[in-house]
Every structure is written in C-alpha cells, then in structure tokens.
Amino acid sequence: MRDNKRDNAELRKISIEENFITNQPASLLYKQGNTRIICTAVFNEKVPFFAKSEKKGWISAEYGMLPGSTGKQRFVRERGGRMDKRNIEIQRFVGRSLRNIIDLKKIKDFNIFLDMDVIQADGGTRCASINSGVIALKKLLKHLVFENKLFEVPEFKTMAAVSIGIKDGEILADIDFEEDFNIDADLNIVSNEDGNVIEVTGFAEESSIPKDLFFKAIDLGIEKNNEIINILKNHL
C-alpha cells in the first residue's frame, strides 16, 4: 500500500466537468486526483503553410501552469513572448499525441488549438493534459459539424496517457507529486483504444531500469490507459 492509500496499480479518481467556460462550446475542467486542468479547444481557418501544402489541417497544444498551482513554488506568469523550456517540451508532447486521434486530412481547412491551463498541480499534468484534450477536441469537432463547417465528425481514435513510476523495484500507476519527487524512474505512456503505443517518454534518476521491469511498466501503462479511455468515452 502506497502512502496515498492506493494499491500500486490503482488510478487516482478522475472527474470531468464539461462546459466549464460558458462561452466556449469545447471546454472542461478535468480532475485527476488533486491535479486540475481547464482545457479549451478553439479553431481558425488559417492552416500552417507546411500543413496546407499537404492538404491537411493541424492540431497544436498550449500548456501552462498558473502561479501558485503547485502550492510550494510560485511560477512567474510568462510575459512578453517568453516561454519556459519545460512548457515547450510538454506542448510538443501533448500536440504530437493528439494529432494521432484523427486523420488530419479530414480537417484540412482548420487549425485547432488546445489550451491546457493547470490550476492545481499534483503530478501527471502532461498526461492529464492529453486526457482533457481528447474530450475538448471531440467536443470541438461536434461543434464544427453543428455549425455546418464539417460534414461529419472524422473517425476518432480515443487515446489516453498515464504516468508510471518505478520505486525500489515496484511499479506504481498514476504517480502524484510526492511519489514523482522520490521516484527511481518515471515514464509517461500514451496509447490508444486499440492498445497501440503512441509515445513513451521517461528517465531514470541515479539508476537504470532492468529491461523486463521496463516492459512490465509499459504493459501496466497500456492497461491503465484502457481504464481511462473507458472513462473518457462516457463523455464523448
């Protein structure tokens, strides 16, 4: 039993409050444990030149942590176009993942922006951002159909992401901040409803990971993502 009273393979409680911002049709408050993210999806019809030349649309993500969201450290709000390198890395991670959901050629006239604002952080914010983005993206696509800008919602491959930690040879699912702070190795695993892996990022801190333990962690990540996918589908 972990210090947070969860079994090693147990997810934190997930809840989703849709239409969190009343003037945005694709918005939600996503909670996973004590991590809370406001996610919105908006669009314009100015497709990036590199996508337009390939006759496809684009999906990108913007990620940020509000000052005070960690409770222990005060992040200075980014101003004047400056951006924290960690935020840039996370945005690319989230954007790459979410571009796997649909065939971008089916939205060739649209540039979709997913904004993830972390209002309270307790570990796993990049994975929670992906999970919230799945809901917001589907809601926006439905809205585009409603507005007669799309004929139909493109085929949609639901995905999820989860953080997996390794500590003293044990594999822990959906680690929170305290666990992440003291972990031996940390993996972020993204997979879709077919069980296919989309991306794995991670590192080992002052130790290495045995190969068999690494693959067990991947398997657990896919298993936990399937649980999250079932939760997300109830909101799709």
**In the chain, what are the domains?**
14-233 (3.30.230.70)
Residue 155 gets which letter from DSSP?
P
Q: Are 236 and 141 in contact (CB under 8 A)?
A: no
Can you tell me the mean pLDDT for 44-69?
A: 88
Can you tell me the mean pLDDT for 36-47?
A: 94
SS3 153: coil
In the predicted structure, residue 206 carries a pLDDT above the cut 80: no
H or E stretch covering 179: helix 177-181
Q: Are 42 and 143 in contact (CB under 8 A)?
A: no
pLDDT digits (tens, 9 = 90+) for 119-170: 999 999 999 999 999 999 999 999 999 999 999 999 999 999 999 999 989 9
Q: Are 2 and 172 in contact (CB under 8 A)?
A: yes
Single-letter code of the amino acid located at 52: K
SS3 77: coil
Which of the pair, 112 or 182, is modelled with greater confidence?
112
What's the confidence (pLDDT) of residue 62? 93
Single-letter code of the amino acid located at 81: G
| Polymer length of the chain | 236
Query: What Rg do the C-alpha atoms of the chain give, in angstroms?
Result: 18
- Round the average pLDDT of the chain to a whole number and report it: 90
H or E stretch covering 194: none
Task: Count Cβ atoms below 10 Å from residue 10 Cβ, excluding itself.
Answer: 16
Residue 134 gets which letter from DSSP?
H
- Give the span between the Cα atoms of 2 and 5, in whole angstroms: 5
What's the confidence (pLDDT) of residue 75? 53
What's the confidence (pLDDT) of residue 82? 56
Among residues of the chain, what percentage have pLDDT more than 70?
93
**pTM value?**
0.92
Single-letter code of the amino acid located at 232: L
The least confident of 71-80, 140-149, 183-192, 194-203 is 71-80
Burial 170-201 (b: 16+ CB within 10 A, else e): ebbbbbbbebeeebbbbbbbbbbbeeeebbee
φ, ψ (nearest 5 deg) of residue 159: -135, 170
H or E stretch covering 229: helix 211-233
- Give the span between the Cα atoms of 47 and 57, in whole angstroms: 6
